[in-house]
């Protein structure tokens, strides 16, 4: 069981790295973080198509990552 979860974790890590690298940068550097960061934080962003799909896929893969890490620590005892 432990080996199976580790294999799933490796596949999830590779998929998560790939999805993160496929996304576009959303910041404008330091000036965007100071002045325009609040606009993106409070819902003024309009993502559509592949950007929205990659964003949601990143969230799903990160949740799977944390569940697999917790299960590895549980089954390792």
H or E segment to which residue 71 belongs: helix 50-75
Rg (CA), the chain: 17
How large is the average pLDDT for residues 34-44? 53
Q: How confident is the model at residue 41 (pLDDT cuts 50, 70, 90)?
A: low
Domain ranges of the chain: 1-76
What CA–CA distance (Å, rounded) separates 58 from 73?
Answer: 23
Residue 40 pLDDT exceeds 60: no
pLDDT at 76 over 90: no
């Amino acid at each position: 069981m432990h080996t199976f979860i580790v294999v799933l974790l490796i596949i999830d890590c590779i998929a998560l790295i790939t999805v993160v690298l496929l996304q576009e940068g959303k910041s404008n550097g330091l000036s965007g973080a100071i002045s325009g960061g609040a606009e993106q934080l409070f819902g003024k962003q309009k993502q559509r198509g592949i950007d929205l799909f990659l964003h949601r896929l990143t969230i799903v893969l990160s949740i799977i990552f944390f569940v697999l890490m917790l299960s590895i620590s549980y089954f390792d005892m």
